[in-house]
Amino acid sequence: MGKRSRQRQKNQNASRDDRDNAGWGAGYADIIKENKLFEHYYKEQGLIPEGEFHQFMEAMREPLPATIRITGYKSHAKEILHCLKEKYFKDIQELEIDGQKIEAPQPLSWYPDEQAWHTNMSRKLIRKSPLLEKFHQFLVSETESGNISRQEAVSMIPPLLMKIESHHKILDMCAAPGSKTAQLIEMLHSDMDVPFPEGFVIANDVDNKRCYLLVHQAKRLNSPCIMVVNHDASCIPMLQIDSDGKKDILFYDRVLCDVPC
């Protein structure tokens, strides 16, 4: 038993070393963002003037900005925000990496309480640059503990418009991978005077494997107000609940349906 245990530990350490060497030390292969069929299709549509097509394609090749969202209902959300602003963001704004000047991260003006931020750094740049290693490790650690979510800005908009309250029953019909689901759960808990909200989120997805991503997202938040369902959203059955000794059909206060393209 002891010999097998030592060998297993040795293999795990070797595997961990391989991951470390493949992380900050090793580079990332450049992806050639070129697709002739894609370009031909859009040229045939006649939507873009011929003189602007090259500019259009260059814009399409630009990486998305990195965006993060702070989990607002956590008791130490203000501490996380203070740490980001006073420690990591200040160190970042003077950097220049691979000829690219890093702009100081800015809050998304339409997201409340400075809880969402964006920067011109791509996720690839954050992962690969040794100069950003501490910032990357901070993001990974706080994401795993549920204090921060890395989420595209456009994905944050639908939950904001739904005006979630703590008693709402919410159905997220095509929920995986779960960024918006996590945001909905967060909004249920936004009233600090209500430690256990009456409301809940039912997060559904047709893909069984992607449902595991939903579970992973939800577990980070330690909320009892979530149920994950694996079903085809186009024919999801009505649920029944026990109410005063009789069964009633469950009706939802909010429904989010972000259907895959």
List the binding residues for S-adenosyl-L-methionine.
174-180, 205, 232, 258
Question: Locate tokens 């972000």: which residue?
Answer: 258
Residue pair 178/209 in contact by the 8 Å Cβ criterion: no
Name, in order, each residue with C-beta under 8 angstroms of 201's C-beta and a sequence gap of 6 or more. Answer: 170, 171, 172, 181, 184, 185, 188, 225, 226, 227
Helix, strand, coil % in the chain, rounded to nearest 5 = 45, 15, 35
- How many angstroms separate the Cα of 33 from the Cα of each of 30, 39, 59, 61? 9, 11, 11, 6
Q: Which residues are annotated as a binding site?
A: 174-180, 205, 232, 258
Residue pair 218/203 in contact by the 8 Å Cβ criterion: yes
Residue pair 240/157 in contact by the 8 Å Cβ criterion: no
Quickly list H helices, the chain. 2-20, 36-45, 53-61, 77-83, 89-92, 123-128, 133-144, 153-161, 179-188, 208-221
Residue pair 174/257 in contact by the 8 Å Cβ criterion: yes
